[in-house]
Amino acid sequence: MKRTHLLVVSLIAAFFAVTFATTGIAQAAPQSVYHGGSYFGSVVVEPGQVVDGDLNVVGGDATIEGTVNGDVNVVGGTIDVRNNGRIEGQTHQVAGALAQTIVPWAGSDNAIQTYAPDHRMWWRVAWDVVVLLFFLIFPLRTRMAVGRLEQHPAMATGAGLFGWVAVIPLAVLLAITIVLIPLIFVEFVLLAASVFIGTAALALLVGRRFYELLSPNATPSPLVALVLGLTLLTAAQLVPVVGVLVTLLTALVGLGAVLLTFIPEPTVPAGPIPPRPTIGGPPMPVG
């Protein structure tokens, strides 16, 4: 049991480590500039590009392959004019060689640029935190949605499709009545809450299944299953193209599962009710 918990924590930690490292490498490339201003990290003026105004760079290199109609000022980096690049104004370079001597990765691979935040990743983490909060606030509704997903996955998908299609017509009907216009805001609040709860339900189910795959004889706690499921879903959503499909499917199935929780399950009798046995024996005297 402890080994399984350790493996789950290791998987989650490895996911975030790889994600942050990948996003950091992706941010390491110099950014192209199209107008003057101040920039952190390495920049490049593309061939044929004309930049009007002074170009100020802090903690990186300035590669000039086009034209800069102004001064180029670099602090903690170098100025590199290539091919037919031109600088119409003056050039000022401060502490470029010194910075690269003290901090070897300064310049084109500087730390500021390398570890610039990936906003898409942080949005996903913020979304997961909100999902976790909704699970803590509405645990019963989330577990009911998990039950609907397990028992009626096709119905959950159909209900989710119906729910998303009905959002706009319902809002239009509320707007036509004029009196019920304030309910449009309530509708979208309920829609957002349902999506968060549905995402928690799907993540809980995915995390539990994955945990049981690693350790068939153990059942994780709901919180561990939820965190593991959110990690797996977030990893899938960050994959290009596939991530869009996973996000749409999560919103579709999650909303449908929550909608099904408001429909009572049909009660099926255990079996035919046996007839009451007749009372035997001699007739009872009357009077």
Give the HSE-up count for residue 197: Cα atoms under 13 Å, Cβ half-sphere.
25
DSSP state of 115: T
SS3 74: strand
Question: Under the phi-then-psi rule, with left for phi > 0, alpha for psi from -120 to 50, and beta for the rest, what region is 22?
Answer: alpha
Give the separation between CA 116 and CA 77, rounded to whole angstroms.
18
Q: What is the pLDDT of residue 131?
A: 95
To which residue do tokens 């706690």 refer?
221
pLDDT, block means (10 residues), the chain with 287 residues:
51 50 50 83 88 85 90 85 88 62 43 48 87 94 93 93 93 88 91 95 93 83 91 86 89 94 71 58 55
- Taken in order 234, 226, 265, 190, the sign of the CA dihedral is negative
pLDDT of residue 15: 53
Q: Which of 169, 160, 122, 92 is nearest to 23 (CA)?
A: 122
| Per-residue tokens: 175 | 């707007």
CB contact set of 222 (below 8 Å; sequence gap of 6+): 135, 139, 143, 204
Nearest to 32 by CA among 66, 59, 58, 78: 66
What is the structure's pLDDT at 35? Answer: 82
Among the listed residues 240, 208, 211, the one whose alpha carbon sits nearest the alpha carbon of residue 222: 208
Whose tokens are 């800069």? That residue is 68
Helices 242-260 and 153-177: crossing angle in degrees, nearest 10, is 80
Q: How much is the pLDDT for 217?
A: 82
Give the orientation angle of helix 182-214 with respect to helix 242-260, to 10 degrees.
Answer: 110
DSSP string, 77-95: S-EEE-TT-EESS-EEEES
Structure token digits, residue 218: 């153990």
Q: What is the pLDDT of residue 3?
A: 53
Res 125: pLDDT = 86
CA atoms of 73 and 43, how far apart (whole Å)? 12
Tokens representing residue 188 in the block? 């979208």
pLDDT at 265: 72
State the pLDDT at residue 26. 41
How far apart CA 93 and CA 79 sit, in angstroms, is 7
Residue 275 makes CB contacts below 8 A (sequence gap 6+) with: none
d(CA 284, CA 287) in angstroms, rounded, equals 10
The maximal CA–CA distance of the chain, rounded, in angstroms, is 128
Encoded amino acid at 62, one letter: A
